[in-house]
Amino acid sequence: MKSKFIIASLLLAGACATVNAQERTKYYTENGKDNIYVGVGVGGMAVINDGINSPTFNMNVTLGKHINPIWGVRGQVGGFWQSLSEEQDRGNYTNYCKKFIELNLDATLNLINLFAGYNPDRAFNLYVFGGPTMNLAKAIDAELTVSQTEGEKWAFSADGMKARFGATVGLGLGYDINEKWGINLEGRLGVTPSIFGNASDCNKAEATARLNLGVAYTFGGKKFIPMGAKVDEEAINNEINKYRSELAAAQSDLADAKNALANVKPVEKEVIKEVQVAGPRAIFFKIGSARIDDYGKVNIELAAKILKANPDKKYKVAGYCDKATGSAAFNQKLSEKRAQAVYDALVAQGVDKDQLELVGFGGTANMFGKNFLNRCVILE
């Protein structure tokens, strides 16, 4: 019971620290298959039962996932022997070694990333972990008999497999060799009913301590994407500047054509109407959002001027989403919301509704070579 309280306190403290930490750039895992890792560890363990018993060999295999640079989850299978050194009145159980298998489900909390912020170049990590545990081992029965000839005598017998449940908590120190490989040193303390049954002095709540040195491999390397990344803003600025250049070039060509016509027929006075041609335009959005930012508003104002100058032409307002993020149903609704937002903004600028056709295409894959560039509305 006490161990469960300790684990709950650590997790609550971590959550409170996350909320109260200074505002920093937040990171997330873009794809579900990213930041999955496997690990193997070896070391020793000791049973704390009426004293610390003889240490035995311990090994574990881990499968886990980093949800973000601070939080993660993992499952771990370990074992495979425990040793119990009983008092002399149970002499035939002295230094007894028993096989068992242990299953742990852990939540992990990276303390350095929590308090210092995530740094992809940082090699060392300090983290805590904890959660429920279950061990499997054959039950042991102990029976005391008293006779006038032999006095007190203990008899031990093995029973069938039995599952015992408890909780564990631990502290780990990790070192990243590169983006895929890392080594770690972990200490874990757990409390469960004893696998030695009533042959143990503390059969209902026995503590175990482990120390393991391990190696971990992250498939594809650690990949964390910053929310509102600067690379998104740079790409949007590049798109806006490209369309501004195209507009300036079109206006320059029209001015040259006007001058050429005036020089060909200097006697005749002709009224030349400047015609502006609207090319495709893209308004970009942040992940999961249908809100038009300041960059998009500038682009819409430029497009509205050309659309109003060509009232006989019709244009398609097409919304898109990133197929790699979100479900198909969610992406379809979000693409329609994005198209509607651009449609409403154009109408607010004075564009005739009859010129516009509204459509949402849902999630698409790499129209422009990068997933985040698919989060857009294209006007053509």
What pLDDT is stored for residue 151 in this prediction? Answer: 63
Going by the DSSP 8-state scheme, the letter that residue 296 receives in this structure is H
Task: Identify the residue with better confidence: 154 or 252.
Answer: 252
Strand duo 206-218 + 225-226: pairing? unpaired
Sign of the torsion angle spanned by Cα atoms 338, 344, 345, 347:
positive
CA pair distance 166, 3, nearest whole angstrom: 8
Cβ(77)–Cβ(96) under 8 Å?
no
Give me the CATH topology for the region 230-261+275-379. 60s Ribosomal Protein L30; Chain: A; (3.30.1330)
Mean pLDDT score, 257-278: 61
Q: Which two tokens stand for residue 118?
A: 């995530």
Q: Which helix (H) or strand (E) holds 247?
A: helix 230-264
Q: pLDDT digit string (tens) for 299-317?
A: 888 888 888 888 888 888 8
pTM over 0.85: no
Q: pLDDT digit string (tens) for 98-113?
A: 888 999 999 999 999 9
CA pair distance 304, 348, nearest whole angstrom: 9
What pLDDT is stored for residue 82 in this prediction? Answer: 87
Q: Which two tokens stand for residue 169?
A: 């908590």
Cβ(309)–Cβ(351) under 8 Å?
no
Report residue 4 CA to chain centroid gap: 26
Give the count of beta carbons closer than 10 Å to the beta carbon of residue 12: 10
Q: pLDDT digit string (tens) for 197-233?
A: 766 777 788 899 999 999 999 999 888 888 754 455 6
Q: Which residues contact 196 (CB under 8 A, 6 or more apart)?
A: 49, 82, 84, 96, 98, 140, 203, 206
CA pair distance 55, 85, nearest whole angstrom: 10
Instruction: Characterize 260-286 residue by residue with b for buried, 16 or more Cβ atoms within 10 angstroms of its Cβ, and e for exposed.
Output: eeeeeeeeeeeeeeeeeebeebbbbbb
Check residue 303 and give left, alpha or beta (phi > 0: left; psi -120 to 50: alpha): alpha
CA nearest neighbour of 314 among 247, 246, 243, 380? 380
Q: Across the strands, what pairs with 106?
A: 74
Domain ranges for the chain, please list them: 2-226, 230-261+275-379
Q: Across the strands, what pairs with 107?
A: 73, 130
Placement of tokens 């964390």 in the chain = 224
Average pLDDT, the chain: 81
Give me the CATH topology for the region 2-226. Porin (2.40.160)
